[in-house]
């Protein structure tokens, strides 16, 4: 549907309303703004205006235009949702030729959409590409555009955990993400130092060699994780270049995609090992200390006064 047709359709959606009130007037303003933004190829702005208009005046006809704008944005999952709701809410009021046209579009869209089934702890918040989609367990797999997506789970009191997944059209994958490996490390309760006495001076303390070794290992693992991340990013760029190159075979794309997944997995493993090593090093730093030189013997001094003078005796 072209730009001019969109404009006429938008205005008609409100002009034929059964009654006019403040909300309908505001909805029409947003529809007019959407038409202007659409003509200027500002599709994201047009989508925001259409969504606001639908909130104010939920006409199924606006859903058709939302689907059109989603198509322009190449958000095929969003277009599928909008077109499906258009047919569902419009029901018998949708003209037969329009139903046939929309159903054909829906079939094409399904070939460009995959699904992600997120498996995680109940109550965890789930985000797809940093957009919240609900709390686990989700009622159904999440429809996403074919391509790469970031799945994040977040449990209150813990750091979010994210994983990257490549999803093909009509593919449904399972994303099992645990959030228990990043629980905050419990800090050891501080121990009050002993009160020094006249014969029990504070004993010097030195950190054990194992503390230095553990931090050294943590640093090495961190460098390894960083290097693997760079390798994974380079492989991903190569995959993007292959996708845009002429004459690339499906086998080459599959091989490069497998390389990207392998590098991403190695990066995650190295990062996990780094976090675990850092936890051990922190624990050793806080608790693994030993006494230095043994305490010196008590020093006592006695004074003796005699006929010949004053004498000092004792241990030094």
| pLDDT tens digit sequence for 193-237 | 555 544 444 444 455 677 777 778 888 888 887 888 888 788 788
CATH number of the domain bearing residue 160: 2.60.40.1120
Domain for residue 281, yes or no? yes
| Cβ atoms of 310 and 303 closer than 8 Å | yes
Domain boundary residue, one of 57, 89, 110: 110
pLDDT tens for each residue of 107-142: 999 999 999 999 999 999 999 999 999 999 999 999
Measured CA to CA, the distance from residue 60 to residue 93 in angstroms comes to 10
Count: domains in the chain: 3
Q: At residue 316, does pLDDT exceed 50? A: no
Domain for residue 271, yes or no? yes
Domain of 129 in residue numbering reads as 113-176
Which one, of 52, 81, 80, 83, lies nearest residue 65 by Cα? 83
Q: At residue 146, does pLDDT exceed 70? A: yes
Domain for residue 181, yes or no? no
Q: Exposed/middle/buried for 56, CB within 10 Å: 0-12, 13-18, 19+?
A: buried
Q: What is the mean pLDDT of the chain?
A: 79
pLDDT tens for each residue of 252-261: 777 878 887 8
Q: Is the same domain home to 13 and 81? A: yes
Phi and psi of 99, rounded to 5°?
Answer: -60, -45
Domain for residue 311, yes or no? no
Q: Is the same domain home to 126 and 34? A: no
Domain for residue 162, yes or no? yes
Q: Is the same domain home to 101 and 28? A: yes
The three-class DSSP label of residue 205 is strand
pLDDT tens for each residue of 17-57: 444 578 889 999 999 999 999 999 999 999 999 999 999 99
């Amino acid at each position: 549907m072209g730009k001019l047709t969109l404009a006429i359709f938008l205005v008609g959606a409100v002009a034929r309303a059964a009654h006019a009130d403040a909300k309908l007037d505001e909805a029409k303003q947003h529809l007019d703004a959407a038409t202007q933004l659409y003509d200027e190829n500002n599709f994201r702005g047009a989508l925001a205006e259409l969504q606001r208009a639908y909130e104010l005046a939920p006409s199924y006809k606006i859903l058709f235009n939302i689907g059109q704008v989603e198509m322009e944005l190449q958000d095929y999952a969003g277009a599928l949702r909008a077109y499906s709701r258009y047919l569902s809410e419009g029901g018998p009021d949708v003209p037969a030729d329009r139903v046939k046209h929309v159903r054909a579009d829906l079939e094409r869209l399904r070939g460009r959409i995959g699904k992600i089934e997120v498996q995680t702890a109940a109550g965890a918040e789930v985000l797809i590409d940093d957009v919240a989609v609900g709390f686990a367990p989700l009622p159904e797999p999440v429809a996403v555009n074919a391509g790469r997506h970031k799945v994040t789970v977040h449990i209150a009191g813990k750091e979010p955990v994210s994983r990257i997944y490549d999803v093909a059209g009509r593919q449904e994958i399972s994303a099992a993400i645990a959030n228990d490996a990043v629980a905050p490390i419990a800090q050891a309760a501080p121990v009050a130092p002993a009160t020094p006495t006249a014969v029990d001076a504070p004993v010097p303390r030195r950190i054990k060699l194992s503390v230095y070794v553990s931090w050294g290992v943590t640093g090495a693992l961190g460098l390894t994780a960083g290097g693997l991340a760079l390798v994974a990013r380079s492989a991903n760029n190569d995959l993007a270049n292959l996708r845009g190159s002429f004459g690339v075979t499906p086998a080459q794309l599959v091989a490069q995609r497998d390389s990207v997944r392998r590098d991403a997995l190695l990066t995650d493993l190295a990062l996990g090992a780094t976090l675990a090593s850092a936890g051990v090093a922190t624990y050793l730093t806080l608790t693994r200390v030993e006494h230095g030189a043994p305490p010196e013997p008590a020093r006592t001094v006695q004074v003796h006064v005699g006929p010949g003078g004053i004498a000092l005796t004792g241990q030094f």
